[in-house]
Chain A
């Protein structure tokens, strides 16, 4: 007599083989892996100039419309001469940081004359992003990679959750694509234009872009980081920068989507 009630009413193991409890325990509906982003970072913007690449991202981690974290760092220095800027899901950002840390350690063979530069990191990230989208389990981010090529020229590339990649002398993710790109393209529309733009000029435009984004992007912050990758091999991280000379007078004139009556 079997005294274990959970075994009662089951096909006998010695006759029919082990009971396949996996079928019994299977959940309802199809397997679902696709996540939705929860803590998110907004735009990352970047442009080339005569001596390198400059990029900026604010320090906000949003939880829906709630400004949840106000000291998120979204520009990550990878190695000595590359900066990766990440927008989108913050937990996926942390996972990407983990991957990049591993990559840096595993590919650290300077004695072979090999240096892990921006194009290599970009290639790696784009493969990771495309593979995850092909598993229908994407990393919910849009990423900019900035640094320099093996020949010493500046590098700037974009990759997103679909694995879509492209390069341009000025790139922005999220709302930056609508609000910052037009401002940046005024001075660097073509690859050749970057040679005529100084670091100071670039910084002025980047600061202006971050201000415009703070004016109009509701999920943004007036506190941001500016990273500058120069061709002499240095990365400057200017943290806790604040939007300057803001003028909110225009806000009075905005009508139509608030609670005001007229």
Chain B
């Protein structure tokens, strides 16, 4: 278990020089997350497997966090930070605290866009010793439309219709481009590119479960269970879906 921390630095050194044990303050804990925004919902999903190296630490560690908010259950914000789980936990806990203070200080709900800007400043605040995570924030805007924001480890962010993050993001993302944003699809009658329209929730759920089942097949970091959090005007609904455990 400790062997990885004992490994010598990659740079070569003189054989007679004393070997310095280097502490590497990061690890990778696997897993994958995925968010899709719809006309009247926002969805954030992630698998519950937690790993170090080839070992499965636990099969069930839910990683999608809900930020309760002023203005009713429909203003709740869901957030996940995937990568190095200790940093992810620290970021999400700190964000939850800051979001709570915001509601006390301003006596109004924290909008998803403001939350996203807050996440940027928190990530960039550790620019020189980054949180090693891919962060996604999702929720509903004032009019009830779904919105998704995604971040790189140091705070660059963008609003998007959908985004995959984590170990298997490279497997999921082209599928999302194709099925959600209708990329490379053309109308048979007119020959014009198909335009992306908001998907109904039922279809999105099917898509997400299919995508994760496929990715589980090909990526060893992904599996066990899929946790899906859906924000609608009724509030946050949680769903679990079994994935393969090998």
Contacts and interface: CB of A to CB of B under 8 A. Distances in A.
Check A-B contact in the complex, CB < 8 A: yes
Interface of A: 34, 36-37, 40, 87-88, 130, 133-134, 136, 138, 140, 142, 158, 161-168, 171, 173-175, 177-178, 181, 189-191
B2 A174 contact: yes
A130 B90 contact: yes
Interface in B47-74: 50, 52, 55, 57-61
Contacts of A136: 23, 25
Closest 8 CB pairs of A and B: A168-B58, A163-B86, A36-B21, A174-B1, A34-B23, A166-B58, A164-B86, A166-B57
Given A162-B86, A164-B85, A167-B61, A37 B23 contact: no
B86 A130 contact: yes
A37 B25 CA distance: 16
A167 B58 CA distance: 7
From B22, B27, B84, B86, residue with most partner A Cβ within 10 Å: B86
A238 B55 CA distance: 30
B167 to A, nearest CB: 16
A262 B54 CA distance: 33
B63 to A, nearest CB: 11
B209 to A, nearest CB: 21
B89 to A, nearest CB: 7
Nearest to B50: A166
A177 B89 CA distance: 23
Contact of B1 (A130, A166, A177, A189): A177
A88 B3 CA distance: 12
Interface in B141-170: none
A24 to B, nearest CB: 26
A105 to B, nearest CB: 26
A133 B25 contact: yes
A162 B26 contact: yes
A159 to B, nearest CB: 9
Nearest to A142: B1
A138 B23 contact: yes
A167 B26 CA distance: 20
Interface of B: 1-2, 5, 21-23, 25-27, 29, 50, 52, 55, 57-61, 84-86, 89-90, 129
B88 to A, nearest CB: 10
A28 B59 CA distance: 48
Nearest to B53: A177
Contact of B52 (A40, A134, A138, A164): A164
Contact of A165 (B1, B5, B23, B86): B86
B138 to A, nearest CB: 24
Nearest to A33: B23
B131 to A, nearest CB: 10
Contacts of B22: 34
22 contacts: A34-B21, A36-B21, A133-B25, A133-B86, A134-B129, A138-B23, A138-B25, A142-B1, A158-B57, A162-B26, A163-B90, A164-B29, A164-B52, A164-B85, A165-B86, A165-B89, A171-B58, A177-B55, A178-B55, A181-B55, A189-B59, A190-B60
Given A34-B21, A133-B25, 11 more contacts: A134-B129, A138-B23, A162-B25, A163-B90, A165-B86, A166-B50, A166-B58, A167-B61, A174-B1, A177-B55, A190-B60
A168 B59 contact: yes
Contacts of A34: 21-23
Nearest to A191: B60
Contacts of B21: 34, 36
**Most chain A C-beta atoms within 10 Å of own C-beta, residue among B25, B26, B50, B61:** B25
Nearest to B52: A164
A168 B224 CA distance: 13
Contacts of A161: 5
B27 A162 contact: yes
A175 B57 contact: no
Contacts of B58: 166-168, 171
Nearest to B88: A164
Contacts of A167: 58, 61
Nearest to B57: A166
Contacts of A88: 2
Nearest to B27: A162
A67 B27 CA distance: 30
A165 B25 contact: no
Contact of A190 (B2, B59, B84): B59
Interface-centre pick from A158, A166, A174, A190 (highest chain B CB count, 10 A): A166
A175 B55 CA distance: 11
A130 B129 CA distance: 14
A55 to B, nearest CB: 16
A136 B26 CA distance: 11
